[in-house]
Amino acid sequence: MSDSPFAQNRRLHAVVRGSVQGVGFRATTFDQARRLGLAGWVRNRVDGTVEVLAEGAEPKLNMFLAYLRRGPLGAHVAGVVEDWSEEQGAPIPFQVKRTE
């Protein structure tokens, strides 16, 4: 799929399971999102998962999702639960939120 100026913007909500806290997952996710020009946020959850909300062009979100499925060095991603919907106006620029 090409990254044309006419690519539809979408929303991706993802919860990443595995050994994903304490390994730089939020920081590298933040860097990836900023590099791709995505809006949204990332945060740790008290259950040990990492939650991500991102909006942008669908091709860029697919590249971002590929990153979430592998994570940074030191992480072990057991799975990603993803939910796609229409863009709704996520925070710009992408940010790291407090644990919830």
Cite the active site residues.
26, 44
**Three-state secondary structure call for residue 58:** helix
**Sheet of 76-86, strands arranged across:** 76-86, 9-19, 50-57, 39-44, 95-96
Question: If we measure between CA atoms, which residue out of 68, 81, 78 comes closest to residue 29?
Answer: 68
